[in-house]
Chains A and B, each alone.
Chain A
Amino acid sequence: MLALVGDAFGGRGGISQYNRDFLGAVAKSGMNVLILPRNAPDPYFIPNNIRQTRPRAGKLRYSIHAIQTALRARVDVVFCGHLFMASLAMLIARLKGAKLIIQTHGIEAWPRPTLRQREAVESADLVLSVSRHTRAAVLTWAAIDPTRVIVLPNTVRSEFVPEEGSRIRAILGMEGKHVLLTVARMDSQQQYKGQDRMIAGMPRLVALGHDVYYLIAGEGDDRPRLEALARERGVHDRVRFLGPVPTRQLKELYQTADLYVMPSTGEGFGIAFLEAMATGIPAAGLDVGGSRDVLADGELGICVPEVDFLDAIDRALTAPKPDRNELAKAARARFGRDKFGAGVQSVLNRLKEAA
Chain B
Amino acid sequence: MCGINGIYAYHRAANLPKEAELLSTRDAMRARGPDGAGMWWNTERRCGFGHRRLSILDLSDRATQPMISDDGCLAVVFNGEIYNYPQLRVELEAAGVHFKTTADTEVLLHLYARSGAAMVHRLRGMFAFAIWDGQRRGIFLARDPYGIKPLYTANDGWTFRFASQVKALLVGGQISRDPEPAGIVGFHLYGNVPEPFTFYREIRSLPAGHTQWIDADGVREPVSFVNLAEILATGGLCPRPQAELADRLRNAVVDSVRAHLLADVEVGIFLSAGIDSGSLLGAMGDAGQRKIRAITLGYEEFCGTSEDEVPLASQICQQYGAQHLVRWVNRKEFHDDLPSILEAMDQPSIDGVNTWFVSKAAKEAGLKVVLSGLGGDELLGGYPSLRDLPRWRFWFGPFARVPGLASFARELAAAIAPGFSQKHPKALALLKYSGSWSGAYMLRRCLFLPYELPRILDTELAHEGLRRLKPLQRLRDSITPDPGSVAARVCAFESANYMRNQLLRDADWAGMAHSVEIRVPLVDLSLLRTLAPFIPAFQQPGLGKSVLARVPKIPLPEDNVARAKTGFGVPTSSWMITANAKGPWAQWPGAGTKGHTSRAWSLAVLNSWIPGNITRETQAA
Binding site for B on A (CB under 8 A): 129, 131-132, 135-136, 139-140, 143, 145-151, 153, 293, 296-297, 299, 334-335, 339, 342-343, 346, 349-350, 353
Contacts and interface: CB of A to CB of B under 8 A. Distances in A.
A103 to B, nearest CB: 14
Interface stretch (B150-158, B423-431, B475-483): B150-158
Contact of A346 (B156, B202, B218): B218
Most interface-central of B156, B217, B467 (chain A CB within 10 A):
B217
Contacts of B467: 143
The 6 nearest A-B residue pairs measured at CB: A151-B157, A346-B217, A132-B157, A334-B13, A135-B157, A143-B468
Contacts of A339: 12-13
B176 A136 contact: yes
Nearest to B218: A150
B157 A145 contact: no
Contacts, number: 60
Contact of B156 (A136, A334, A350): A136
Nearest to A340: B12
A335 B158 CA distance: 13
Interface in B169-228: 176, 178, 182, 201-202, 204, 216-222
B178 A136 contact: yes
A148 B219 CA distance: 8
Given A136-B176, A140-B178, A353-B220, A147 B13 contact: no
Interface in B210-252: 216-222
Given A136-B178, A140-B178, A349 B157 contact: no
Contacts of A145: 221
Nearest to A153: B13
A132 B201 CA distance: 14
A146 B15 contact: no
Nearest to A142: B468
A147 B157 contact: no
Contacts of B468: 143
B472 to A, nearest CB: 15
A349 B217 contact: yes
Contacts of A150: 157, 218
21 contacts: A129-B157, A131-B157, A132-B156, A135-B156, A136-B157, A136-B176, A136-B178, A136-B201, A136-B202, A143-B467, A145-B221, A146-B219, A147-B220, A151-B13, A151-B157, A293-B13, A296-B15, A335-B13, A339-B13, A349-B217, A350-B218
B444 interface: no
B387 interface: no
Contacts of B15: 296-297, 299
B243 to A, nearest CB: 47
A147 B216 CA distance: 13
Nearest to A342: B12
Contacts of A343: 12
A148 B221 contact: yes
A151 B11 CA distance: 8
B333 to A, nearest CB: 42
Nearest to B158: A132
Contacts of A151: 11, 13, 157-158
A252 B294 CA distance: 80
